[in-house]
Structure 1
Amino acid sequence: MRNQAVRRTLVRLLEHARYEVLPTPSAEAKVIEHVPLDIAVTVTASPSKGLPATLELAERLATRGYVTVPHLAARMVSGRSELVEISERLKAAGITRVFVPGGDADPVGDYADALALLEDLAVMGHPFEQVGVTGYPESHPTIHDDLTVQAMWDKRRYATHVVSNLSFDPAVIRVWIQRMRSRGVTMPLLLGMPGPVDRTKLLSMATKIGVGESTRFLAKNKGTFARLAAPGGFTGERFLLKCAPTLSEPTSLVEGLHVFTFNQIEETEAWRQGLLSRLRS
């Protein structure tokens, strides 16, 4: 499969993958059954379920020995008092990593965006060892591309790494990484990509994250669903192979993968192990 440099790059990224899961009732059991302990697990924040569901699942997985990364969606946190409580709660559970997106919900308090929450974490003495922020390879529906790159520049003092949102175009990934690095954003990057997806299961999962939220998600991500569910469409292996030249460049600073599982956790881990086996053979 391709040359040795490509193999080495892809093996490295697959070995440093982490899985994003939704805080549904079945998620914990699926992770415990199918995900090895050397894979970090991030837990999304759902406006319909609230932050408690995110924190509780992260805590339970942490007690099982997983490195867990709860999403602290800024607009779902009321202010510094609640942020202090959340930080103390997570530290008590041994959780040292968080991911801070702005979130899709309307602000419930003081934080209109991720930067405002990140600034308060700094005032609190940087309670977490690792703090991830979002990057947008594809155009954001409401924010100009230049502003999304500027936002990463603004957040660089408060975050330790960038997690890219979904993109299916290796050329877009290449240009975005080049723009980000030329701007002086040197944080390590986790490349966001979907795991293997079954159309029926994906639509079923969309209904479980809340009717209103599902409607918004489907409306915003029609292209995502079409590409994931189309026969012979997107495949993770083909995507990674096409991205490999960019990801192999030392200046890209890509240190791993952030895999959106859509809670198809067993299938995602089987795909990762299968691809690793082929790359190593």
Structure 2
Amino acid sequence: MLSTEAALDDYSFEITARDLPALASTADRFPAGTRVNVTYLGTEDAADRLAAARAVADHGLTPVPHISARRLLSEADLTSFLDGLAAQGTHRRVFAVGGDPAQPHGPYSEAAQVIASGHLAAAGVREVGIGGYPEGHPDIDDAALWDALTLKTRLIAEQGMNAAIATQFSFDTDAVLTWIRRVRDAGVDAPIRVGVPGPAGVKRLLGFARRCGVASSATLARKYGFSLGNLLGTAGPDAFIEDLAAGIDHGVHGEVRLHFFTFGGLDATASWLERRPVAA
């Protein structure tokens, strides 16, 4: 069992380039060095993402820029972005994802191909984040997900880098704990950051859940802390985190931390975290 306070130690969170004004007003409310994933949106270009990674670092936080395989136009597009990160010193940690487009925009159709290219290691990347899906993926079958997870962790290790896993969010702690145990049984010992929505409107949460294939039955909603009959309400992750912490056994589940999706905004997440006790 892990205490709720310990579960909140060394958390990470996620932003997009358009969140920079909000980051400027909230950055000092997060512990120095907190990891901040900078997502790879199709509506933002490489310059936007580079600027966001630099801003995260300038605020004393640790940037983890996303690289979306299917959105890369070419090999040169990948190396140019990595060169840009290296030039500003924000290249040590990246997060490799497949990305949303149904058809790749260039030569890479999945994150494993980006990792296998060798360009991340050559650019001086030390840690590669990869995705985890406790409830599966709406467009990828379960067997392929597991094959990809083990392949990516192997490729990362073979190139002398460290792997880190961040999961899709879930309302179901049982599904998350079962999935983590299966990851460990598969011989993958990379640290896992469990995706958790920060405080947000119920309607907004359910919208993201539908898009991401996250189960949201009435039973799971009540367990998480909201009602499907009150879409105008808000929900926080209190019950989920307490339940998750109670189920964690480090001997079984290994290193587990939290990763916040700031669906309700950075200010709401920062305010929620400030009200929670954090392990010393």
With the shorter chain as reference, the TM-score category is 0.7 to 0.9
- Secondary structure of 1:107's partner? coil
Work out which of the residue numbers 9, 20, 29 in structure 2 matches 1:15: 9
Q: Is contact 2:201-2:235 (8 Å) kept?
A: no
Cα distance change of structure 1 residues 175 and 219 upon mapping to structure 2, 3 Å threshold: closer
Report whether the alignment pairs 1:58 with 2:53.
yes
Distance 2:118 2:23 in 1: 28
Residue equivalent to 2:170:
167
Report whether the alignment pairs 1:143 with 2:140.
yes
Kindly state the Cα deviation for residue 252 of structure 1 after the two structures are TM-superposed. Answer: 1.0
Distance 2:240 2:209 in 1: 23
Cα distance change of structure 1 residues 13 and 126 upon mapping to structure 2, 3 Å threshold: farther
Distance 2:67 2:190 in 1: 19
- Bigger CA drift: 91-100 or 245-254? 245-254
Q: Is contact 1:51-1:72 (8 Å) kept?
A: no
Q: Is contact 2:17-2:52 (8 Å) kept?
A: yes
Residue equivalent to 2:184:
181
Q: What is the TM-score of this pair, normalised by structure 1?
A: 0.81
Residue equivalent to 2:159:
none
Distance 2:120 2:28 in 1: 39
Cα distance change of structure 1 residues 63 and 180 upon mapping to structure 2, 3 Å threshold: same
**Matched residue type, 2:130:** V
- Secondary structure of 2:196's partner? strand
The alignment yields a C-alpha RMSD, in angstroms, of 2.9
Q: Is contact 1:168-1:234 (8 Å) kept?
A: no
Cα distance change of structure 1 residues 120 and 52 upon mapping to structure 2, 3 Å threshold: same
Report whether the alignment pairs 1:116 with 2:110.
no
Q: Is contact 1:160-1:187 (8 Å) kept?
A: yes
Q: Is contact 2:169-2:214 (8 Å) kept?
A: no
Kindly state the Cα deviation for residue 265 of structure 1 after the two structures are TM-superposed. Answer: 1.0
Counting only pairs closer than 5 Å after superposition, residues 23-102 of structure 1 correspond to structure 2 as: 23-24=17-18, 26-32=21-27, 34-95=29-90, 96-102=92-98
Unpaired runs of 5+ residues, structure 2, are 157-161
Q: CA offsets, 1:45-74, max 9 Å, x none? A: 111223432222111221232211111111
Alignment: residue pair count: 261
**Matched residue type, 1:237:** D
Distance 1:254 1:55 in 2: 30
Kindly state the Cα deviation for residue 136 of structure 1 after the two structures are TM-superposed. Answer: 0.4
Q: Is contact 2:12-2:35 (8 Å) kept?
A: yes
- Secondary structure of 1:65's partner? coil
- Secondary structure of 1:275's partner? coil
- Secondary structure of 2:275's partner? helix
Q: CA offsets, 1:157-181, max 9 Å, x none? A: 2151111111110110121112211
- Bigger CA drift: 218-227 or 229-238? 218-227
Q: What is the TM-score of this pair, normalised by structure 2?
A: 0.81
Kindly state the Cα deviation for residue 233 of structure 1 after the two structures are TM-superposed. Answer: 8.0
Kindly state the Cα deviation for residue 80 of structure 1 after the two structures are TM-superposed. Answer: 2.5
- Secondary structure of 2:140's partner? coil
Q: CA offsets, 1:232-254, max 9 Å, x none? A: 88541211121124323323123
- Secondary structure of 1:56's partner? helix
Distance 2:209 2:241 in 1: 25
Kindly state the Cα deviation for residue 218 of structure 1 after the two structures are TM-superposed. Answer: 7.7
Q: Is contact 2:130-2:164 (8 Å) kept?
A: yes
Kindly state the Cα deviation for residue 146 of structure 1 after the two structures are TM-superposed. Answer: 2.1
Distance 1:149 1:234 in 2: 31
- Secondary structure of 2:14's partner? strand
Task: Select the structure that is richer in helix.
Answer: 1
Kindly state the Cα deviation for residue 224 of structure 1 after the two structures are TM-superposed. Answer: 7.2
Q: CA offsets, 1:260-279, max 9 Å, x none? A: 012611211221222216x8
- Bigger CA drift: 120-129 or 267-276? 120-129
